[in-house]
Chains A and B, each alone.
Chain A
């Protein structure tokens, strides 16, 4: 019994070592979403400006769409913004989720910088963002016509990211029946 007990640490350690060896081959910097292939968690958010429609997860089915999480206090969002405006001009449907701030701040920011969104909702408490697994802003989810998450972009959408990753995916999603 004592002998078996004394063998336990080394046995566990060997198992651990095997795990680490296998772990060496993965890249911890890749951040896929838990939601890939699943429908969006349900949310219904109020609009940024009184009188407009807000954003509800139920409205997002029908066509492939980008769900962009942004905030006026976020630096990289500003960097991403011109790309979004250009996409809007090209007819790409984008909806916005204004994360963790007062609706008025988000509205003022959109007034000053241009509004690339078909519609936008204000997630003042950050609750919807938590359900989506948002780790920071900006973040963008690509949704198919059935409202399922197909891709998650962490960080700004740069022209490169758009051309190489998201545009081909959107084309494929539009072709899906």
Chain B
């Protein structure tokens, strides 16, 4: 029953999305308030029906209704309840449903809270959102229907991929999708602005919080994904340059650029058409990120549901949305007003440079990800692009960007003087130099690069703290007051940039000093590794709720010890997973993964990962910085919305 309700709800949502995609655009063109109001109603209703459909699917999972094909394929009655619920979005169809759910909710939010926008602009934004929604609801209904029934119904279902039966999965895809889909709002705003042919301050004020709202979960989602890959895949790494990881990194890089350029547009009215272009490209890369891995063009550990039929549909969607938006851009952008002028050495100039670097980084990742496809089409060669490519291209671009980050917030808008800027960064520079010296002395001259990396991390962290620090130093006469009057956004900025410093610290540490070892161990064997001694105590069998585990218990003495670790290899009905044992500490992790049995013992892989936790702490700190900043924005939006209210024509009541 639930499946049929869900099916109907999905069809209704599709029809409503078509209505939302056509009527308000027409209404805005004709200037008909009633038609534009209809768009708002359609957006809210569409969201309600998609939520209903999603609820129906989740209910089928919870109730173990194996007559629904999707439930039978991804769940069984022994699977714990939390993972039965998480399985709702653990399949291709389910994750697509989550995608349109989030799109619908964002659309409804734009309809509900966009009342202070110019009415035609809001109607056009909703219209574009509706068209995107209709495309994806159509994709879901016609190629990936989640509600198909099985007849006869099986007594028991198969299983969710055991790799995905993990707390990480419960939150990783929803966070990523919140990010990807969140950029659809910026995309809709950009297309609406191009249709209107004007970009004004209200537009800029509205876009930035939406970009921020998408950037925060995307940052957190990527960080969480990296963490999940680290402990669940058992490969002992935190980033693999896998196509799917790259697919999430590209929109993040462009989204970060957009976040900064939107700031310039908001404050100074400059970089108008650039910001529009970035909005379009960021969402396009999000589409590429979500969908290209499902098309069979690229392989990856993540790729599920490879189906060329779907691939064609997906390419058609990407082609039409991005193609139409870029076509519109080519037509309308030259007519947009050019923004205010600024000197090369200014906050605007700094952000432009930041944008150039971020776009170049995204292009690097793009080339690395897709060059195998293009090289194979052009020649017959099959190549694979791995970490060495990124070490040679990504790192040389990222390092100067990191070095320049500290200058950005220190620059004045419009114009600045070199001497004054350098004076402003003297404290962080002195701290970084001190760390560099200490580093050189302690790790030795041979590790110059590692010491330089530590210096860079310190430079970033100190530079970030210097942003509120300088403010408070200037107002030190009444320190409490100057702390209280510091805008929340300043704290957000400092947190986000400091997070980048922590991330750098982690990357430098693990890159410079990691070590690993593979060996065969029998119970009682000991091995000396990275200042520790590991002894394999025992190999036992244990029962989990829906798996059997072989547990290898290790006693560790030496650095940070003594402690004991248990590494598991789990046999689920369908496949096996490796649950690595990880001893976490701020200075470094010990990572033990117990593999197959061989030669009377088990294969043990050991990794020493100095400072690696700071990578994830840094990532989450950046997301937290965004969140803090968003809190401030919302207040400011309220103020900004209230102030011009008498001037703007109020939205008609529905």
What is A's interface to B at a CB cutoff of 8 Å?
2-3, 6-7, 9-10, 13-14, 17, 19-32, 34, 72-75, 78, 100-102, 105, 108-109, 112
From residue A151, how far is it (CB to closest CB) to chain B in Å?
14
From residue A27, how far is it (CB to closest CB) to chain B in Å?
8
Per the bound structure, the CA–CA distance linking A34 and B331 in Å amounts to: 45
CB pair A6–B315 under 8 Å, yes or no, is no
Residue-wise interface mask of B (350-390) relative to A, using a CB-CB cutoff of 8 A (1 in contact, 0 not) = 00000000000000000000101110110001110000000
CB pair A21–B329 under 8 Å, yes or no, is no
Task: Tell me how many residues of B have a C-beta within 8 Å of chain A.
Answer: 44
Q: What are 26 A-B pairs at a CB distance below 8 A?
A: A3-B330, A3-B334, A6-B333, A6-B334, A14-B323, A17-B319, A17-B323, A19-B373, A23-B376, A24-B297, A25-B308, A27-B296, A28-B296, A28-B297, A29-B299, A34-B383, A73-B598, A73-B603, A74-B596, A74-B598, A75-B603, A100-B518, A101-B518, A108-B599, A112-B599, A112-B600
Per the bound structure, the CA–CA distance linking A105 and B522 in Å amounts to: 13
Per the bound structure, the CA–CA distance linking A100 and B517 in Å amounts to: 10
Per the bound structure, the CA–CA distance linking A74 and B330 in Å amounts to: 55
Known contacts: A24-B308, A109-B599. The answer to whether A34 contacts B315 by CB under 8 A is no
CB pair A13–B322 under 8 Å, yes or no, is yes
Interface membership of B38, Cβ < 8 A: no
Per the bound structure, the CA–CA distance linking A4 and B462 in Å amounts to: 44
CB pair B518–A9 under 8 Å, yes or no, is no
Give me 13 other A-B pairs in contact (C-beta within 8 A), A14-B323, A32-B382, A105-B599 excluded: A6-B329, A6-B330, A17-B315, A24-B295, A24-B296, A26-B373, A34-B383, A75-B595, A75-B596, A78-B596, A105-B519, A105-B520, A109-B599
Q: Which of A10, A28, A30 contacts B326 (CB 8 A)?
A: A10
Within 8 A of A (CB), among B266-310: 273, 277, 280-281, 284, 292, 295-299, 308
Per the bound structure, the CA–CA distance linking A107 and B519 in Å amounts to: 14
Interface membership of B311, Cβ < 8 A: yes
Per the bound structure, the CA–CA distance linking A78 and B602 in Å amounts to: 13
In the complex, what residues of A have CB within 8 A of residue B201's CB? Answer: none
Per the bound structure, the CA–CA distance linking A27 and B306 in Å amounts to: 11
CB pair B330–A10 under 8 Å, yes or no, is yes
Within 8 A of A (CB), among B316-345: 318-319, 322-323, 326-327, 329-331, 333-334
CB pair B326–A73 under 8 Å, yes or no, is no
Interface membership of B312, Cβ < 8 A: yes
Per the bound structure, the CA–CA distance linking A102 and B519 in Å amounts to: 9
From residue A71, how far is it (CB to closest CB) to chain B in Å?
8
Most chain B CB inside 10 Å of its own CB: which residue of A10, A21, A105 = A10
Residue-wise interface mask of B (123-160) relative to A, using a CB-CB cutoff of 8 A (1 in contact, 0 not) = 00000000000000000000000000000000000000
Q: How many residue-residue contacts, CB under 8 A, span A and B?
A: 101
Within 8 A of A (CB), among B496-546: 518-520
Per the bound structure, the CA–CA distance linking A9 and B331 in Å amounts to: 12
In the complex, what residues of A have CB within 8 A of residue B600's CB? Answer: 112
Per the bound structure, the CA–CA distance linking A48 and B369 in Å amounts to: 39
CB pair A73–B595 under 8 Å, yes or no, is yes
CB pair B598–A75 under 8 Å, yes or no, is yes
Per the bound structure, the CA–CA distance linking A72 and B595 in Å amounts to: 12
In the complex, what residues of B have CB within 8 A of residue A24's CB? Answer: 295-297, 308, 311-312, 315
Q: Which of A28, A30, A72, A100 contacts B520 (CB 8 A)?
A: A72
Per the bound structure, the CA–CA distance linking A102 and B517 in Å amounts to: 11
Which partner residue on chain A sits nearest B299 by CB separation? A28
Which partner residue on chain A sits nearest B273 by CB separation? A6
Per the bound structure, the CA–CA distance linking A133 and B283 in Å amounts to: 37
Most chain B CB inside 10 Å of its own CB: which residue of A22, A29, A108, A112 = A22
Which 9 pairs across A and B sit closest by C-beta, in order of nearness? A75-B596, A10-B326, A73-B603, A28-B299, A23-B373, A7-B330, A2-B334, A6-B333, A6-B330
CB pair A20–B373 under 8 Å, yes or no, is yes
From residue A1, how far is it (CB to closest CB) to chain B in Å?
9
Per the bound structure, the CA–CA distance linking A78 and B595 in Å amounts to: 13
Which partner residue on chain B sits nearest A13 by CB separation? B326
From residue A119, how far is it (CB to closest CB) to chain B in Å?
21
CB pair B329–A72 under 8 Å, yes or no, is no
In the complex, what residues of B have CB within 8 A of residue A7's CB? Answer: 330
Per the bound structure, the CA–CA distance linking A3 and B329 in Å amounts to: 10
From residue B266, how far is it (CB to closest CB) to chain A in Å?
23
From residue A13, how far is it (CB to closest CB) to chain B in Å?
5
Per the bound structure, the CA–CA distance linking A78 and B597 in Å amounts to: 10
Per the bound structure, the CA–CA distance linking A10 and B321 in Å amounts to: 12
Per the bound structure, the CA–CA distance linking A6 and B331 in Å amounts to: 8
In the complex, what residues of A have CB within 8 A of residue B596's CB? Answer: 73-75, 78
Per the bound structure, the CA–CA distance linking A29 and B306 in Å amounts to: 11
Known contacts: A2-B334, A19-B373, A30-B382. The answer to whether A13 contacts B297 by CB under 8 A is no
Per the bound structure, the CA–CA distance linking A145 and B312 in Å amounts to: 45
In the complex, what residues of A have CB within 8 A of residue B599's CB? Answer: 72, 105, 108-109, 112
Within 8 A of A (CB), among B529-587: none
In the complex, what residues of B have CB within 8 A of residue A30's CB? Answer: 382
From residue A81, how far is it (CB to closest CB) to chain B in Å?
11
CB pair A23–B382 under 8 Å, yes or no, is no
Per the bound structure, the CA–CA distance linking A83 and B159 in Å amounts to: 32
In the complex, what residues of A have CB within 8 A of residue B311's CB? Answer: 24
Q: Which of A9, A27, A108 contacts B277 (CB 8 A)?
A: A9
CB pair A73–B322 under 8 Å, yes or no, is no
Q: Which of A6, A17, A26, A72 contacts B376 (CB 8 A)?
A: A26
In the complex, what residues of A have CB within 8 A of residue B292's CB? Answer: 20
CB pair B329–A19 under 8 Å, yes or no, is no
In the complex, what residues of A have CB within 8 A of residue B327's CB? Answer: 10
Per the bound structure, the CA–CA distance linking A127 and B595 in Å amounts to: 23
In the complex, what residues of A have CB within 8 A of residue B334's CB? Answer: 2-3, 6
Which partner residue on chain A sits nearest B280 by CB separation? A9
In the complex, what residues of A have CB within 8 A of residue B382's CB? Answer: 30-32, 34
Which partner residue on chain B sits nearest A77 by CB separation? B598
CB pair B315–A109 under 8 Å, yes or no, is no
From residue A69, how far is it (CB to closest CB) to chain B in Å?
15
Q: Which of B277, B296, B377, B520 contacts A22 (CB 8 A)?
A: B377
Q: Which of B298, B318, B319, B329 contacts A28 (CB 8 A)?
A: B298
Per the bound structure, the CA–CA distance linking A14 and B318 in Å amounts to: 11
Which partner residue on chain A sits nearest B331 by CB separation? A6
Most chain A CB inside 10 Å of its own CB: which residue of B284, B381, B598, B603 = B598
